[in-house]
Structure 1
């Protein structure tokens, strides 16, 4: 009863004391990697949770028009990390010439994040290689050799059917000379070194996402025959009939409607794994040679000027489907493993970017996330799910889909940045009823697990507290006014505090560390009937 009384009193006092707003906790020092965890300068594990913030539009100068108030809102939503998209075409419009005006706009967003206590990592984004086809590389670095460009039923089909896109990637992996005679990949590494030198001492910037969804080029022509062949074999085993012909399989994949119908058959983990694992050898060969070598070249360039920031490595495009990655950590000049590396995986079901985005196979998505977790463990790196979601629509099914994805992120203790912010995202029920939720931002020790039950409003958490850590564990709470006084923490803590954000019902629960360390648990309850209903879900 005493503990309960103390908690209630502190909550009441906090509401009164924080009406003018609480400044975010100052982030001293660099965020680092310790095994499979991100840790701050106080020795606490950090769970990064945030959103992608990007413009792919040259008419916007590759920078979202939303301003400083958007970053204030990010904090209120509980985000502590922004994946800030940057575009090669905007950064290096001509070989070796860097766009200072664009870099100053990037600086401005980083400053806004710093003012709100948010971390930033920079994502060198590309889709279909370059601005000539979508976004990414400048035209001078797009060595497509005059090959034709083709589009398919879904935008990403161009990776598989466009000779121009594939040839441009081939020349990038082969480091073919740009118009100035310098290899196009060398230009890419030099650009990253220029960026790293600029932010080498900036503690708001936590690292560099070297390339978004790298694609293997023309060797990808072998992928679909392997996958479709495996699909045909699974189909034949299931039905006892002759497998479909190559022509029938190609026709099946040609339209979005028939493709979605085919995906229904491989909704189980067992069937799906047989299909995606058919391309593992091809995928692994590309990653072990071309992709690993590029990451090492860029890592070498960055480490010449910056040894503090984390290097985030994204697997190749096809690993998004659940193929195991073959990547390894890059090495330092002395040949030892670079300790400041992280796995920036992307996780989407195959229905993403289609009309069936709200109807994924839950089992298939679980398989993809399990594969990501397995790879993070193998590489002994923290996992930051750099992209997930890409949801749209206001139906109740979309809320359910989003909540399922969030439950998987919590199950694996992934850090994450949702894809992606858009101007009216707060008007979508899935956003307010799935992405906005309580979660542990920093932990005085090692997180064992946590869970938020969307149906009951109950939040639970377990962690192994380290005796030497003196700073508090901090839990983001979206609805302080709906927080029940029934808070259970074991072992008991005499001083729990909340800090409320200005002009918001959100804030944080601060749990001071015990002197002895050891395993601790927390359970708290939100009274959902008291929680503000933000939106009416369209049926």
Structure 2
């Protein structure tokens, strides 16, 4: 296909440097937090959009096998941020001994990201606590007291039914001594300090995601009785019958088929909130004590060696379901609030990791995202949706599901990193027809709203431009050859610069400020048929 965006752009606006323009500047300063926004070194608001990049496989030495060319793909897909998973088992195979070879592999991925204009934040990942059960802590730090490990219908059921997993978490929160006599949590804190010291002056690295989906341990045994009890009341109200017994509820939840059937009852916001809010007090107690304390210890250690990077806080495991988080910002040594903190929430519907993943309750998902947005405002932090999606399959329904999630991300102006990258992800329709989309990467001022209409192909953006900031607004455009004549920007700019990304139909549109400030709007119309034709030819 002949790229014809040079011709059509001149119809409405004056474009320059369409072929070899001024590429968006490499990261020349630290990304910072300003209230509920991320801002770059020029004071512009930044929307982060990217993907999780991780290997949980010790046979791969906990590092994805894909090379530098994958980061070139990330750039062409419009990603400007990577959540790079790192594994405690790979970092500290023996107490106090750090794996320099693994750290150098991390260094390499950070450098590749830098070469392609991508930010990186490091995610200390765990699932079911440690490598003994899934991934995360090394065996020497997994103090399970010899208790049995049990598995359920879904992998995550082990959080609720495995005495070994729960004991390991209990001992972590209680800082029980590791084999060398040092508390296991203290080891974790020192590891984070070692990592922070290494990247303290690296501007590609934006921060540290301190723990993936922290789990409360044995006290989680109280969660399901509370949730199922609330579910029983909702069921009784719906049917007018006596609520089922505890044994009947337990049997229903233990079987995947009956569990998925039961979820149909709580598909509305009103009914669902009654179930998840039943565990708020228990969840908040854990977060206000054990989790907040651990985050503060890690923050203290990091701030001794690194005051530049953002600390990302993930809520506890059960908050993924829409329970409100009780977390607060950590503090500095003088007791003041640490200004460089952000909320790295995760948002999934309850059908994730099941065969019904493409049939979520849209109301339930909307409720979960509303709660995340409310918590971000309460804590006065930017929200970076660290995980969302986990989609698979190539059906039209999966595309619809993905587009619904993207619409919510745009509604709340969330930064985000999709879960997760895999080798043939570009072959999936939901990826090409939902995740790849135009969006504002950098805004000279403050974003008011933006939206991409998947049906009409119209991109709309509105922002308050700052007169004092003369750096351009930068918008990622995935299909330069499919831009229609209907482009408008008000107030107009004299010149708009574009750059096409190498080996791609994508590029950036750079909008210079008017020097007057005030509200600006932009509309770009894409011809979706042309976009589809290009993708076919590209493949």
The two structures have a TM-score, normalised by structure 1, of: 0.97
Number of the residue aligned with 2:347: 347
Residue 426 of structure 1 is matched in structure 2 by 426
> In structure 2, what is the equivalent of residue 261 of structure 1?
261
| Residue 131 of structure 1: how far off its partner (Å) | 0.1
Q: RMSD of aligned C-alpha atoms?
A: 1.2
Q: Where does residue 315 of structure 1 map in the other structure?
A: 315
CA–CA separation in structure 1 for the residues paired with 2:27 and 2:9? 32
2:81–2:118 Cα contact (<8 Å) kept: yes
2 CA distance for matches of 1:469 and 1:128? 47
1:489 paired to 2:489: yes
- For 1:327-366, what per-residue CA distance to the aligned partner results, in whole angstroms no more than 9, with x for missing partners? 0000000000000000000000000000000000000000
Alignment of 1:60-139 (within 5 A): 60-139=60-139
| Contact preservation (8 Å) 1:267, 1:364 | yes
SS in 2 for 1:38: strand
**Counterpart-to-counterpart distance in 1, 2:104 and 2:20:** 37
The answer to whether the Cα contact below 8 Å between 1:150 and 1:161 also exists between their aligned partners in 2 is: yes
| 2:4 match | none
Number of residues paired by the alignment? Answer: 529
Alpha carbons of 1:5 and 1:124: their partners in 2 closer, same or farther (altered >3 Å)? closer
Once residues 98 and 26 of structure 1 are traced to their aligned partners in structure 2, the CA distance between those partners, rounded to angstroms, is 31
CA offset digits 1:285-342 (Å, max 9, x no partner) = 0000000000000000000000000000000000000000000000000000000000
Rounded to whole Å, the distance in 2 between the matches of 1:429 and 1:410 is 20
Aligned residue for 2:475? 475
Partner of 1:288: 288
Is the Cα contact below 8 Å between 1:196 and 1:302 reproduced in 2? yes
- 1:532 alignment partner, SS class: helix
Does the 8 Å contact 2:13/2:495 carry over to 1? no
| Stretch of structure 1 that moved more, 482-491 or 441-450 | 482-491
Residue 14 of structure 1, CA deviation: 3.8
Whether the 8 Å CA contact 1:7–1:496 is kept in 2: the answer is: no
CA displacement at 1:155 relative to structure 2: 0.1
Question: Could you report, residue by residue, the CA deviation over 1:346-401 in whole angstroms, capped at 9, with x for unpaired residues?
Answer: 00000000000000000000000000000000000000000000000000000000
User: What 5-or-longer segments of structure 1 have no aligned partner?
Assistant: none
Aligned twin of 2:222: 222
Point out where structure 2 has 5 or more consecutive residues left out of the alignment. Answer: 1-7
Task: Note closer, same or farther for the CA distance 1:467–1:44 as it changes in structure 2 (3 Å cut).
Answer: same
CA distance in 2, matches of 1:10, 1:518: 21
SS of residue matched to 2:440: strand
The superposition leaves residues 218-277 of structure 1 with CA deviations (integer Å, 9 ceiling, x where unpaired) of: 000000000000000011111111001101100110111000000000000000000000
Q: Secondary structure at the match of 1:112?
A: helix
Scaled by the length of structure 2, the TM-score of the pair is: 0.97
Partner of residue 515, structure 1? 515
- Secondary structure of 1:369's counterpart equals helix
Residue aligning to 1:463 = 463
Q: 1:530, CA displacement in angstroms?
A: 1.3
Shift in Å, 1:17: 3.8
* Aligned-residue offset at 1:173: 0.1
